[in-house]
């Protein structure tokens, strides 16, 4: 949180950087709401791929995701909707963006890549701690 505040403070001095900062955080909020969007979507796989494409477009435009949570939410949903190949791509994009996955994110990734069917993963919105259940 302190890093985000420090970055926002320094970005606010330059209008173009400030707009990019705000856009990054809007995308971050979108990813936090992604589970609801995917679950109500007619094509859940298409919604997941759209979220993945958005991560890639953010990188192409030098709009790094605000933090690891965007990738983690997408990994969680890859497990919920049996998309292990997409999970591998998400982890690759995360590393390409220069973000080092922590133990929680690796836990999601391992759960997705080793499961044979949908897995149930719950992400706490309060403190970004996950609870994996079989």
38 in any annotated domain: yes
Q: How many residues does the chain have?
A: 134
Q: How far apart are CA 54 and CA 103, in angstroms?
A: 24
- Using DSSP, state whether 129 is helix, strand or coil: coil
**pLDDT score, position 76:** 94
DSSP 44: H
Give 60-116 pLDDT, tens digit per residue.
888 877 678 899 999 999 999 999 999 999 999 999 888 889 999 898 899 898 876
- Domain interval for residue 63: 18-133
**pLDDT score, position 131:** 39
**pLDDT score, position 1:** 56
126 in any annotated domain: yes
Give 5-25 pLDDT, tens digit per residue.
777 777 777 788 888 888 888
**pLDDT score, position 118:** 54
12 in any annotated domain: no
Give me the number of domains the chain comprises: 1
2 in any annotated domain: no
Predicted structure pTM score: 0.76
1 in any annotated domain: no
9 in any annotated domain: no
Say which residue the tokens 């690796």 belong to: 106
Give 26-59 pLDDT, tens digit per residue.
888 999 999 999 999 999 999 999 999 999 998 8
**pLDDT score, position 126:** 41
Specify whether the CB–CB gap between 60 and 96 falls below 8 A. no
């Amino acid at each position: 949180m302190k890093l985000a505040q420090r970055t926002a403070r320094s970005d606010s001095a330059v209008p173009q950087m400030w707009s990019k900062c705000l856009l990054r955080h809007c995308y971050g909020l979108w990813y936090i709401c992604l589970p609801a969007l995917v679950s109500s979507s007619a094509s859940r796989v298409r919604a997941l791929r759209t979220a993945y494409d958005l991560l890639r477009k953010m990188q192409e435009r030098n709009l790094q995701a605000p933090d690891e949570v965007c990738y983690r939410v997408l990994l969680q949903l890859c497990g919920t909707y049996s998309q292990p190949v997409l999970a591998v791509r998400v982890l690759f994009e995360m590393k390409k963006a220069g973000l080092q996955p922590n133990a929680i994110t690796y836990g999601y990734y391992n759960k997705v890549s080793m499961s044979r069917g949908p897995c149930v993963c719950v992400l706490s919105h309060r403190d970004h701690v996950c609870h994996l259940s079989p």
